[in-house]
Structure 1
Amino acid sequence: MSGQGSTANVIAAICSVIIPGLGQLVQGRLLAAIIQFGLAALLWLVLLGWIIHIYSIIDAARFKAS
């Protein structure tokens, strides 16, 4: 089971740095990945995508599998 700060979460966070939602996809959280990617894409149109981008990185890094 991977917890906060685990190698898997660090890799997921790095993936989210590249593309928002990719880290969640790597963790198998398809719905979260779609939502975060979609929100980031929409918000980048008005130059606020960095908010979701940063949230996506933090969310991937802090994920705790249940």
Structure 2
Amino acid sequence: MPSSVVQSMRYNPDTHTLRIRYVSGIVYEYKNVPEEVFAAMKAAGSKGRFLNQHIKGHYDFVKVPTAHP
């Protein structure tokens, strides 16, 4: 999944939560994301573009605290 913006993504179908780890190391969880939206993001040629157009501003989110070495 090469992306200049998204390092990794994980989806929890039980809670409809999409967790995005950015290449900067910052992690956000987007709430109430339908599974088909996650599937479309996985299939998208540009994860960053999809994120900006279809996730950000469309779903509530929280920043996940991360441990720093």
TM-score interval, smaller chain? 0.3 to 0.5
- Larger relative contact order (CA 8 Å, sep ≥ 6): 1
Of Structure 1 and Structure 2, which has the larger fraction of its residues in strand? 2
Of Structure 1 and Structure 2, which has the larger fraction of its residues in helix? 1
TM, length-normalised to structure 2: 0.35
